[in-house]
Structure 1
Amino acid sequence: MSHKIEKPLPMRQIAIIAVCRFAEPICFTVIFPFVVQMVRDFHIAEEQNVGYYVGLITSCFALTQLLTGIHWGMLSDRIGRRPVILQGLIGTITSILLFGLSKSFVWALLSRSLCGLLNGNVGVLKSMVSELTMDYSAHQRARVFSILPLMYGLGSIIGPMLGGFLSHPVTNFPNVFSQLGAVTDFLTEYPYFLPCFISAFICLLGLIFGFFFLEETHVVQEKKSNSNDEEEALLNTSTSKNDQQYATFKTNSTTGSVQVKHSPTPTIHNEVAPPTLRESLTPSVLAICITYGFFALQAVFMDELFPLFTASSRSHGGLGFSPNEIGMALSYAGVVTIIGQIFVLPSLTKRYSLLRIFQVVLATMIFLYMSQGLIRVLYYVPDLHGQQNTKFWVWVGLIVNLTIKTIGHTICFTSCTILVNNACPRVDALGAVNGFSQCCASAMRSVGPAICGTVWAASLSATFFPFQLRVNITFFVLALIGTITYILSKRLNPDNYETAHAREEVVHVHENAEAENESSN
């Protein structure tokens, strides 16, 4: 039986992690309002084929992250979380600056790929949060884990605003940028550099803050030859038999006391080297990672579809929105993300199990996806002044759709994160498990935008279908992916995910004499 101690959360360290997380989504989302216009400026495709190239730019980040995500996670198991996170911030800064200098499709593709190649911070930050909250209650863990998507929500407010309002600054703000000499010439030549530069500067502040204040949570211990002979003997003689007792030792950083747990499950910490990836990937870990991957597919599909749907002209099945309007809509979604994390998710986790919430939200998303294409029909509904072809009801429908979608995705992403960490069999496997889960998500994110762009372009070109049908084919495909995700979630066994399997029983020696005697024996 696990002994849980309700104690104050380490808020200082959590706040520092939040700062490091906050900087990256700004750089990730800043391109969304203008990426369609950027591809148009490259003059490489007709309007109906722009979706192909937008999908490739978006998916290349996830594809390169797929190639390196596990390696960054396992490296953090060996050298610690902090150096990997700092290096990831450097990679993000470099990538977004180069992306702002894009004058060709190939340059944009390569610079975006560099960000995924050099940054594995999402999985590593999840491992760091899991280590900080391992000995806390399930409700406290859910509250802390929700901070990561909360920071993404904050960043996704600022990023789209920067991308939407600061792209083409000389044209949009001539009073400010038209009389600056060489700066004006530079911003005219590179109209998307300014929002990327400001995003990189914010990320640089996160890097500086992390360098001076971020503390390591994963202590890599060297093998000791004399003082820990008894502990090593216990560790070395333990096997993988289910009926054998295992001993795990831990030192409390506050009191200096030794903590011990005897358990029938193999949660031993190997102080010489972490377990291999194969040892870490238990059936329960694989099941939730696959489900997480399919949810990531539908989420990135939706994220890719949104700018295509809103930026495309009405004659091509879209809403005909400008980059400024797209930026405002995405910033609103960021605000809803914060509301969902602070108010909606905590209230639900107090009443229902996390896995149950996850499954219900996935079912809701299926019907939301199927109805999204109906927003464009709202152009034909008279507004409050009796006029048709205005954006009043279109905005209402879009806001309602964004609200439900954003809250649902926020809940699902946080749920996936906690369920993956709960399924992890050992604490020293957190980096590998989170790296693998991130790779599963990245694999789907790498193909999701390409699938979305291809389906969108192909359906618009399929003139043998009626117009009202072909403009909704993409939404039907998205609903199908949502259905598959829901079916996978129903196959998860709640017993494997409701509590952290790698949790150590914390017993403070100075408060419990029996634990002290047990550790000495």
Structure 2
Amino acid sequence: MGKEKPLPYRQLFIICACRFAEPICFTVIFPFILFMIRDFNLTDEKHLGYYVGFITSAFAVAQLLTGIHWGMLSDRIGRRPVILFGLFGTLSSILLFGLSKNFAWALFSRSLCGLLNGNVSVLKSMVSEITIEHSPEQRARAFSFLPLMFGIGSILGPMLGGLLSNPVETYPSIFGRGGPLTDFFTEFPYFLPCFVSAVICALGLIFGIFFLEETLESAKPTTQDPPTKVFHELEEERPLIQHNEDYNTFNGTTTDDSDRRSTTSPTPTLPDQSPAPSFRESLTPAVLAICLAYALFSFQAIFYDELFPIWTASKRENGGLGFQSDEIGIALAYCGCVTLFVQLLLLPAWTRWFGQLRLFQIVLFGCIFLYLGQGFTRYMYNIPDPSGHTQTKFWVWVGLILTSTLKTMFHTTAFTSCTILTNDAAPRLDCLGAVNGFAQCCASGMRAFGPATCGAIWSASLGAEWIPYPIRIHISWITLSIVGVVTFYSSTKLNPVDYDTSKFLREEQVFPPPEDEEDMNRRA
């Protein structure tokens, strides 16, 4: 039995480099978004959640409107130009966001990022295409690199946002000496982290321009048809007599001898040149089922991601933890570190033990109880620390680290599972862009709805004084847990037969696999 074909690590590395910049630009705003909205002087403290939700939703709403179109465009013109344009759009929009002086400008720049960027679904298609000839285990390993890059970006993004925002006050010895630089960062206190994120994105764009290769077969520059190329690769491995026969057969010429033998020897045939499936034909029941589960999980994930900075930054009397932006940045960066650990060490073992679909269902079940319990972390202020003092953050940090670890483990595993199961459900290779674009739009739709819903529920529950205080500060967490129940139920309806094996690995090759030498000589 032949050795397992090695993964194309060089191309995977380049794809990851292009992916790395985007989560930085996406997560860099989380530590300071509440403070930015507060600086706009739009409303009181209790209603800030509404506006934070609108900002976060703007990206997803815009991506919902364009995600399918970017995916289908990549099916026609190739993956590479779409990826490069998406990086340019991300770079431009994050710079504009850093220059926000009012809510309308922030909303516009965040929407622009979603409109000009469809890279997530296209990058998934690229990974699927370059691993088409590999085993399911290798494909799972390759697909895990994308959320791994998101995890690394999720470390750096919040750190940049938390440590570099408002630099005049944070680093007065560097930025507080007066002059144009001090004046600029006083007027735009959140530009510096956005600028650094844009520089990282620009590096990814430059790297992609010089090194990213096209993976869509029809968009690759080539001087001969793929079947002809495959034939010439295979003919070198055949005995001389059969080599001549197959060459004559392939080119439409025969001799009497070869014509007589063609009735007993296998003749190479060209693959079925059926047209690519339409968008509607690409959405098989298996695709729709996993996209529904993906959408529901995306809703609860973005709901959590929106709730976490609001909850941690809000004052304790308003149900929050009373953390500062740098503390929030550290907590989010820690979650990124856990993502790396899960992707590199835990996820491969878990997948081997439970299987991809079963593992997906297990972590969704765990999320239900995690959400119910995390809101109680604020009560750890009342527990004496090792020095015997209460109202300190020692045990609050312990509880926050524990719940954040579990959340990151569950969410990382679930997102990777969604990606793999979606690609395995696609009916054909030439509709991967459309399928991943549709899945991304389903997720974006929920991500658009999630932050606004989270902000509204948080603000409405705090303002509902007719509800007892100990209950209303937990309403957001209870709502999130209910969403977790619905998501888990949807996952139980997935048919394992549709997702256990990659359909692409069952596609017919241009020629049958070469026979061993003894069998071929016997036929000759």
TM over 0.5: yes
Aligned residue among 477, 498, 512 for 2:515: 512
Which one-letter code corresponds to 2:34 in the other structure? Answer: V
Question: In the alignment, what sits opposite 2:211?
Answer: 213
State the AA in 2 paired with 1:14.
L
Per the TM alignment, residue 512 of structure 1 is displaced from its structure 2 partner at its CA by 3.2
Structure 2 CA distance for aligned equivalents of residues 164 and 453 of structure 1:
21
CA positional deviation for 1:481: 0.5
Q: Distance in 1 between matches of 2:31 and 2:228?
A: 49
Offset, 1:134:
1.5
CA distance in 1, matches of 2:71, 2:277: 12
Q: Are 1:362 and 2:364 counterparts?
A: yes
In 2, are the aligned partners of 1:7 and 1:136 still within 8 Å (CA)? yes
C-alpha distance 385-164 of structure 1, shift in aligned 2 (>3 A): same
Which deviates more from structure 2 when the two are superposed, residues 60-69 or residues 502-511? 502-511
- TM-superposed deviation, 1:510: 8.1
Match of 2:118 in 1: 120
Secondary structure at 1:396 match in 2: helix
Equivalent residue for 1:339, pick from 321, 338, 341: 341
Residue 98 of structure 1 corresponds to which residue in structure 2?
A: 96
What is the Cα-based RMSD across aligned positions, in Å? 2.4
Tell me how far apart the structure 2 counterparts of residues 119 and 219 of structure 1 sit (CA, whole Å).
23
Offset from partner CA, 1:29-54 (integer Å, 9 cap, x none): 00000000000000001100000000
Does the residue aligned with 2:504 lie in a helix, a strand or coil?
coil
Shift of 1:426: 0.3
Checking the alignment, whether the CA contact within 8 Å between 1:62 and 1:446 is kept in structure 2 is: yes
Deviation string, structure 1 residues 429-451 (Cα, Å, up to 9, x no partner) = 00000000000000000000000
Deviates more, 1:357-366 or 1:170-179: 170-179
1:57 aligns with 55
Shift of 1:274: 3.3
**2:355 aligned partner:** 353
Q: Equivalent residues in 2 for 1:117-266 (5 A)? A: 117-179=115-177, 181-220=179-218, 255=233
Following TM superposition, by how much is the alpha carbon of 1:256 offset from its aligned partner in structure 2, in angstroms? 6.7
CA contact (8 A) 1:78 1:274 kept: no
Tell me which of 495, 500, 503 is aligned to 1:501: 503
> Structure 1: how far apart are the matches of 2:200 and 2:477?
35
What is aligned with 1:314? 316
AA aligned opposite 1:11: Y
Equivalent residues in 2 for 1:18-57, closer than 5 Å: 18-57=16-55
Deviations 1:230-260 (A, max 9, x none): x9xxxxxxxxxxxxxxxxx6965994779xx
Aligned to 2:248: none
Deviates more, 1:47-56 or 1:346-355: 346-355
Describe the shift of the 1:50–1:250 C-alpha distance in structure 2 as closer, same or farther (beyond 3 A): farther
Query: Which amino acid in 2 is paired with 1:53?
Result: Y
Q: Which residue of 2 aligns with 1:438?
A: 440
1:436-473 Cα offsets, whole Å, 9 max, x none, are: 00000000000000000000001101111111100001
Pair 300,250 (structure 1): closer, same or farther in 2 beyond 3 Å: farther
C-alpha contact (below 8 Å) 2:78/2:219 kept by paired residues:
no
CA distance in 2, matches of 1:269, 1:77: 19
Give 1:82's aligned residue.
Answer: 80
Q: Report the counterpart of residue 298 of structure 1 in structure 2.
A: 300
Q: Is the 8 A contact 2:314 2:320 kept in 1?
A: yes
2:470 to 459, 468, 471: 468
The verdict on how the C-alpha distance between 1:501 and 1:390 changes in structure 2, with shifts beyond 3 A counting, is: same
**C-alpha contact (below 8 Å) 1:67/1:439 kept by paired residues:** yes
What is the one-letter code of the residue matched to 1:442?
S
Alpha-carbon distance between aligned partners in 1 of 2:436 and 2:228, rounded to the nearest angstrom: 22
Aligned length in residues:
483
The one-letter amino acid of 1:110's match is F
The question of whether the paired residues in 2 share the 8 Å contact of 1:5 and 1:136 is answered with no
Report the CA distance between 1:500 and its aligned residue: 1.1
Q: CA 1:221–1:387 in 2, change beyond 3 Å: closer, same or farther?
A: closer
The aligned amino acid for 2:170 is N
> Unaligned regions of 5+ residues in structure 2, if any?
237-270
**Aligned residue type for 1:57:** I
TM-score (normalizing by structure 2) = 0.88
CA pair 289-5 structure 1, distance change in 2 beyond 3 A: farther
Matches of 1:397 and 1:119, distance apart in 2: 37
Matched, 1:458 2:456: no
1:350 CA drift (Å) = 1.6
- The 8 Å contact of residues 20 and 149 in structure 2, kept in 1 or not, is answered as yes
Runs of 4+ with deviation above 4 angstroms: 249-258, 268-271, 505-511
Query: Aligned residue for 1:10?
Result: 8
Tell me by how many angstroms 1:352 deviates: 1.8
Query: C-alpha deviations, 1:37-96, integer Å up to 9, x for none?
Result: 000000001100000000000011000000000000000000000000000000000000
SS at match of 1:216: coil
- 1:199 shift after superposition: 0.1
**Which residue of the partner structure matches residue 407 of structure 2?**
405
Are residues 160 and 505 of structure 1, via their aligned partners in 2, closer, same or farther at CA, if it must alter by over 3 Å? same
Structure 1 residues 191, 252: closer, same or farther in 2, change over 3 A? farther
User: In structure 1, what residue type is equivalent to 2:179?
Assistant: G
Give the aligned residue type for 2:92. Answer: T
Tell me the CA shift for residue 502 of structure 1. 2.6
Q: Structure 2 vs 1, CA of residues 476 and 270 (structure 1 numbering), >3 Å: closer, same or farther?
A: farther
Question: How far 1:351 moved relative to its partner?
Answer: 1.6
1:275: Cα distance to partner?
Answer: 2.3
Asked whether the 8 Å contact 2:94–2:195 carries over to 1, the reply is yes
Distance change (3 Å), C-alpha of 1:409 and 1:435: same
Q: Secondary structure at the match of 1:82?
A: helix
1:179 positional shift: 2.5
Q: State the distance in 2 between where 1:55 and 1:340 align.
A: 29
- Determine if contact 1:63/1:443 at 8 Å carries over to the other structure: yes
2:240 alignment partner in structure 1: none
**What are the within-5 Å matches in structure 2 for residues 273-292 of structure 1?**
274-292=276-294
C-alpha distance in 2 between matches for 1:256 and 1:122: 36
Please give the per-residue CA displacement for 1:129-157, whole angstroms capped at 9, x wherever unaligned: 00111221111111110000000000010
Residues 1:200 and 1:495: Cα distance change in structure 2 (over 3 Å): same
- Distance between the aligned counterparts of 1:250 and 1:288, measured in 2? 37
TM alignment of 1:384-395, pairs within 5 A: 384-395=386-397
User: In structure 2, how many angstroms separate the alpha carbons of the residues matched to 1:97 and 1:5?
Assistant: 48
Contact 1:97/1:196 (<8 A) preserved = yes
